[in-house]
Amino acid sequence: MTPEQKKKRVVIKIGSSSLTSRHGEISRKKLEKLTEEIVELKDAGHEVVLVSSGAVAAGYRKLGCIVRPTSLPEKQAAASIGQGLLMESYSELFLSHGYVASQILITRSDFSDENRYNNVRNTIHVLLERGIIPIVNENDTVTIDRLKFGDNDTLAAKVAGLIQSDQLIILSDINGLYDADPRKNRDAKLLENVYHITPEIEAGAGDSGSTIGTGGMRSKIDAAKIAMASGITTFLGKAGKPNIICDAVSGRAMGTYFQVTDPTINLNQKKQWIAFHSGPEGEIHTNEAGRDAILMKKESLQTNFVNKVVGNFPKGAVVRIIDEENEEIGLGVVNFSANDILDPERREEDRVVIDVQDMVCHLDISIPVGL
């Protein structure tokens, strides 16, 4: 790490299997290695946010389970034990190097609500300004539909976009992205640089390669897509390699770099929230003229372009925009409630239903095809 290097804001995601022993317990040796590398980044002036898995893996044996539990109550109970153990270890190790760590537990609903989304961002910004290391995880003990955010790979990508990170680093038990499954094909080649995520790459993504973790290659590709759409380069590599974090920041690590080459693929904070975090509350079906206005002319959606409204959404809700072929064009924040849009007395008025500034089309966030 050299003094002349640009200081970066880095989000690091570490997987469960990279933190625990083969018995499912927290590995002190792995934690020490991870914290020492993060400390080296901090000493060099970089800002670091850590998205850490491992709560369930760290806690299930102390819950009395011989193997990782499969029922939601047991997973949540294990997480309630393991999360405390993880934070205790992280805090102790970082304090020994003079750095304070903080804990941020969130749920998907914190991201889907725009006010809470902004509050999370503001909190992390304050912590980073004070030199503190935020450690983020999903609040596993209260998640009601499923334990994962999608998974922590996706969570890390969303956090990276939330705080306008310079780089996302995903550490796991694999070396990176290959052109074939290296466990089945000896000739599989590591893809050191990926500039576009192709349908072939997505189709070839497999399931979780570990019995400890929950995120497989598909989740890592999805995370890279989210980060790339936010203008953030992503690195995927193996946690156990020496100096992997510092080398990843310096661009020297062995692994896969998902590179951002198109500066126009960079959604602002508002559009990131619309695209990746909001929960659409209804649909607006537009005619062909409306579709052309949105996709070709980059214009707002007017009242006279609306064919149909589905749902009873309020003003300010996020809705799906659907064309006459029943294909989803994108998402947008409506200026009127569903009832106001359908009001026959106001139907002929020249009103902007969705402003172009509050709209995200799938073309805006798609990653071009071709390696």
Q: pLDDT of 266-276, one tens digit each? A: 677 788 888 88
Instruction: Give the residue-averaged pLDDT of 3-30.
Output: 81
Mean pLDDT of the residues in the chain? 84
On whether the pTM is more than 0.85, the answer is no
Alpha helices in the chain (DSSP H): 28-43, 55-59, 72-95, 108-112, 114-129, 152-162, 199-204, 217-229, 244-250, 269-272, 288-295, 338-342, 362-365
Distant-in-sequence contacts of 345-350, Cβ < 8 A, 24+ apart:
346/303, 347/303, 348/303, 348/304, 349/303, 350/302, 350/303, 350/304
Q: Are strands 301-302 and 283-286 parallel, antiparallel or unpaired?
A: unpaired
Reference 108, options 67, 71, 137; nearest CA is: 137
What domains can you pick out in the chain, each with its CATH number?
9-266 (3.40.1160.10), 279-363 (2.30.130.10)
Question: Range with the lowest mean pLDDT among 61-65, 72-76, 201-205?
Answer: 201-205
Q: Rounded to an integer, what distance in angstroms lies between the CA atom of residue 128 and that of residue 133?
A: 7
Structure tokens at 76: 């949540």
- Complete DSSP assignment for 138-157: E-TTT-SS-SSSS-HHHHHH
Neighbouring CB atoms inside 10 A of 208's CB total 19
Block residue for tokens 């966030």: 365
Residue 300 in this model has a pLDDT that exceeds 50 = yes
Per-residue pLDDT tens digits for 17-50: 788 777 767 788 999 999 999 999 999 999 999 9
Q: What is the pLDDT of residue 66?
A: 81
142 pLDDT above the threshold of 70: no
pLDDT value of position 248: 96
